[in-house]
Amino acid sequence: MTLFRLDASIRSDGSHSRQVADLVEQEWRAVHPDGGVVRRDVGTAPLPSDAWAAAVSAAQVSPEERTPAQVRAAALATLLADELIGADALLFAVPLYNYGVSQHFKGWVDLVATEPRMSPGREPALAGKPAVLVTVRGGAYGPGTPREGWDHATPWMRRILADLWQLDLRVVEAELTLVGVNPALDELRDLAARKRREAEDLARAHGRELASRRVAA
Ligand SMILES: Cc1cc2nc3c(=O)[nH]c(=O)nc-3n(C[C@H](O)[C@H](O)[C@H](O)COP(=O)(O)O)c2cc1C
| Residue 194 counted as domain residue | yes
C-alpha to C-alpha distances, 90 to 38, 161, 185, 205, nearest whole angstrom:
10, 10, 33, 15
Q: Which domain holds residue 127?
A: 2-212
So what's the pLDDT on residue 121?
83
C-alpha 123/C-alpha 112 separation (Å) is: 15
Q: Which residues does ligand 1 sit against, CB inside 6 Å?
A: 9, 11, 15-18, 95-99, 136-139, 177-178
Within 35-186, strands assigned E span 36-41, 89-97, 100-101, 130-136, 168-174
CATH number at residue 89: 3.40.50.360
Mean pLDDT estimate for the chain: 96
Q: Give the Å distance between the CA of 191 and the centre of ligand 1.
A: 18
Please report which confidence band the pLDDT of residue 216 belongs to, taking 50, 70 and 90 as the band edges: low
Q: Of the residues 92, 96, 176, which should be mutated to test ligand 1's pocket, given the most ligand atoms within 8 Å of the CB?
A: 96
Instruction: Give the C-alpha separation, 147 to 139, whole Å.
Output: 8
Atom 12, ligand 1: which residue's CA is nearest?
A: 138
Whether residue 154 lies inside any domain: the answer is: yes
Ligand 1 closest atom vs CA 11: 27
Nearest CA to ligand 1 atom 7: 98
Which residues partner with 209 through β-bridges? none
Q: How many CA atoms lie within 13 A of 48 on its CB side?
A: 14
Residue 102 has pLDDT above 70, yes or no: yes
* pLDDT for the residue 215: 66
Per-residue pLDDT, averaged over 121-134, amounts to 94
**Ligand 1 center from residue 148 Cα (angstroms):** 16
Question: Percentage of the chain surpassing pLDDT 70?
Answer: 99
The answer to whether residue 101 sits within a structural domain is yes
Work out the average pLDDT over 88-103: 98
- Confidence tier at 156 by pLDDT (50, 70, 90): very high
The answer to whether residue 97 sits within a structural domain is yes
Q: Going by DSSP bridges, is the β-strand pair 36-41/89-97 parallel, antiparallel, or unpaired?
A: unpaired
pLDDT, mean of residues 123-140: 96
Q: 13 in a domain, yes or no?
A: yes
Binned at pLDDT 50, 70 and 90, residue 139 comes out as very high
pLDDT exceeding 90 applies to what percent of the chain?
Answer: 95
Whether pTM exceeds 0.95: yes
What is d(CA 140, CA 192) in angstroms, rounded to the nearest whole number?
A: 9
Taking CA atoms only, the protein residue closest to ligand 1 atom 16 is 138
Looking from the CA of residue 19, the nearest atom of ligand 1 is 26
Q: Report which ligand 1 atom has the smallest distance to the Cα of 95.
A: 23
SS3 27: helix
Task: Determine the pLDDT at residue 214.
Answer: 72
Q: What is the pLDDT of residues 174-210, one digit of tens each?
A: 999 999 999 999 999 999 999 999 999 999 999 999 9
Closest CA to 76 of 102, 42, 103, 36: 42
In a domain, 217, yes or no: no
- Residue 143 Cα to ligand 1 middle (Å): 20
Structural domain count, the chain = 1
